[in-house]
Amino acid sequence: MQGKPLVFDVAAIREACESRLPYPAGLGDFLKYLPAGKIGYSKIAKNALLIPESIALMISPSGCSRHCSCNALFAGEGQRFFSLRLNEVDIASGLFPAKIEAALAEIFRGLGYTPKAAVLISTCVDALAGTDYGAYTKSWSEKFSTRVTRLAMNPILEDSPSPHKIETIRTLYGFIAPQPQLPRMPLINVLGRVAAVSPASELGEIAGKYGGCQLRHISQCRSLAEFDEMGRARLNITIPIGESAGKDMEKKYGIPYVVLRPSYHPDTVADNYRRLGEALGTTIDDGEYYQSVKELAARTAGKYGRWRGAVGESIDDQPLVLARDLLDMGFDIRYVFIEKIRPGDLPALRWLEQNAPGLRVLISAHPSMAGFSLTSDDIDYAVGLLKSFYWRAPDIPVVDVDEQPFDYFGIRSLLTALATALEAKKGD
């Protein structure tokens, strides 16, 4: 292991977290290290562009807009993403809303048409200034004859009761136009995930068999009209980060919701299907899927269980939970990289303290991580780990699969990708 990072054993970090969560608390603890390759807060651009037939306009100082613009370009959506740079005078005076209106007019003239929706992206500047976007978006919607909304990228409020990751999801689905005069559609919405559930997942088949419905994710909507149809669904499936959006939609559109937990463990997925069955008023028989993935996990762990692994955050917002799941299935996980430990991580921490006391936890955002690198002396593979944490050892295979799955397909994808990567390493 190169460098001198801030490393904890599980018992020490669990003891610290029992009295203080989230840990670390924020920028007051230390300057935040943003490792190379981390998307960071620019995922807001991807969320904004999920609304079909829309453009996005980011209003911010240069630094914020630069990395968000790059993310839009990498996603192939550069033609829909625009930036309005604020200078010191704009920020100090608070008079920049006039510039936003002028920028929208210029964008629409340049496009030669008015998009059906415009998504404004604000930053910490507006959080501090208290810009009244509610009044402005209503005025601009009327002026330009299009639907205008605002997403807020406010990392300074990350540890507030309503962090911007949660508020973004609420705003996205609150943008659906209510259609109470129209009947329900045979749809089950999936909320909280940036990506749709894979067509290869058993969840689609189960939704059809037990609910008579198709799955619908915002990314699958080809038009604003199809997006609005999500307000006529029969049920919302959401992961915990989207629960507030589920509550909002139940109140606004009358759609009940069920919260499923992202997991790579068969027992958790089995519980998800129990919850889904209750929400649909039936009992889902998932025994065949469960048994099949349990057998695959046993075979894979039997073959590669002695290989040393590390877990990061790129495929799961709860790497401690992922480490627990992999350890419980028979894999040897040595390191966990996590930016911040939150209350939902405590059960996993307690389990790890009892069952994997030698596990090491690294705070990935700590400045001591700059220049740090794992080597082949430390691990044989990694799951969801950025290259900046193992750049001295390019031979370490890294597995990246579907983000935050709550189905058996997600587990199967991870196990298959892991076996493929380790088999290739063994053959080198």
- Give residue-wise pLDDT tens across range 39-96: 554 577 788 889 999 999 999 887 777 767 766 666 676 789 999 998 888 877 878 8
Q: In the prediction, which pLDDT does 316 show?
A: 62
Phi, psi of 27 (to 5 degrees): -65, -15
Model confidence at 38, pLDDT cuts 50, 70, 90, reads: low
Q: Is the peptide bond before 22 cis (omega within 30 degrees of 0)?
A: yes
Model confidence at 254, pLDDT cuts 50, 70, 90, reads: very high
Dig out the tokens for 115 from the structure. 């998009």
Q: Which amino acid is at 253?
A: Y
Contact 361, 13 (CB under 8 A): yes
Task: Please indicate whether residue 117 or residue 316 has the higher confidence score (pLDDT).
Answer: 117
Section 167-180 average pLDDT: 95
Mean pLDDT over the full length of the chain = 87
Section 185-198 average pLDDT: 94
How do residues 331-350 score in pLDDT, each as one tens digit?
999 999 988 888 888 899 99
Task: Please indicate whether residue 107 or residue 79 has the higher confidence score (pLDDT).
Answer: 107
Burial tier of 308 (Cβ tally within 10 Å: 0-12, 13-18, 19+): middle
The yes-or-no verdict on residue 296 having pLDDT over 90 is: yes
Integer CA distances (angstroms), 330 to 218, 254, 396, in order: 36, 43, 20
Task: Please indicate whether residue 2 or residue 321 has the higher confidence score (pLDDT).
Answer: 321
Dig out the tokens for 178 from the structure. 């209510």
Model confidence at 402, pLDDT cuts 50, 70, 90, reads: low
For the chain, percent of residues with pLDDT exceeding 70:
87
Q: In the prediction, which pLDDT does 259 show?
A: 97
Model confidence at 28, pLDDT cuts 50, 70, 90, reads: very low
Q: In the prediction, which pLDDT does 154 show?
A: 78
CA distance 231 to 167: 18
Residue-range domains of the chain with CATH: 7-26+298-427 (3.40.50.1980), 40-157 (3.40.50.1980), 187-280 (3.40.50.1980)
CA atoms lying within 13 Å on the CB side of residue 397: 16
Model confidence at 162, pLDDT cuts 50, 70, 90, reads: confident
Q: In the prediction, which pLDDT does 41 show?
A: 46
CA distance 50 to 52: 6
Contact 232, 179 (CB under 8 A): yes
